[in-house]
A and B are shown apart, each in its own frame.
Chain A
Amino acid sequence: MNTNEKEAPVQGNIEALLPWHAAGTLSRRDAQRVEDALTRDPELARRYALVREELGETIHLNETLGAPSARAMEKLFAKIDAEPKRAATGGAGSFSLSSRFTGWLGGLTPRTLAFAGGAAAIAILLQAGFIASIVLKQQTAGFETASAPSTAPGIGAFTLIRFAPQASFDDINKFLETNKLSIVSGPAPGGLYKVRVGENALSKDELGQVVKKLQQDKVVGFIVTTQ
Chain B
Amino acid sequence: MQTTSDDVLIARIAGGDRLAMQVLFARHHVRVYRFVLRLVRNEATAEDLISEVFLDIWRQAGKFEGRSAVSTWMLSIARFKALSALRRRQDDELDDETAAAIEDQADDPETALAKKDKGAILRQCLTRLSTEHREVIDLVYYHEKSVEEVAEITGIPEATVKTRMFYARKKLSELLKEQGIDRGWP
Contact = CB atoms under 8 A, between A and B. Distances in A.
Interface of A: 1-2, 4-6, 8, 10-11, 16-17, 19-20, 22-26, 46-47, 50-51, 53-62, 65-69, 71-73, 75-77, 79-80, 83, 85-96, 99-100, 102-104, 106-107
Contacts of A60: 119, 123
B47 A71 contact: yes
Contacts of B123: 57, 60-61
Given A91-B11, A91-B15, A93-B62, 19 more contacts: A1-B132, A2-B163, A19-B141, A20-B147, A53-B119, A56-B119, A61-B127, A68-B46, A71-B47, A73-B25, A76-B54, A77-B18, A90-B14, A92-B63, A95-B11, A99-B66, A100-B15, A103-B12, A107-B17
> B interface, how many residues as a size bin?
35 or more
Contacts of A6: 159-160, 163
Contacts of B13: 91
A20 B50 contact: no
Contacts of A1: 130, 132
B152 interface: no
Contacts of A11: 159, 162-163
Contact of B14 (A16, A24, A56, A103): A103
B38 A62 contact: yes
B183 interface: yes
A87 B119 contact: no
Interface string B127-157: 1001010000110111011110100000000
A69 B125 CA distance: 27
Interface of B: 4-5, 7-8, 10-18, 21-22, 25, 29-30, 33-34, 37-38, 43, 46-48, 50-51, 54-55, 58-66, 119, 122-123, 126-127, 130, 132, 137-138, 140-142, 144-147, 149, 159-160, 162-167, 169, 172, 183-185
B51 A79 contact: yes
Contacts of A46: 184
A73 B164 CA distance: 34
A101 to B, nearest CB: 9
Contacts of A25: 140, 144-147, 149
A191 to B, nearest CB: 27
Contacts of A79: 51, 55
Contact of B47 (A16, A54, A72, A94): A72
Nearest to B26: A73
B29 A72 contact: yes
Contacts of A16: 162-163, 165-166
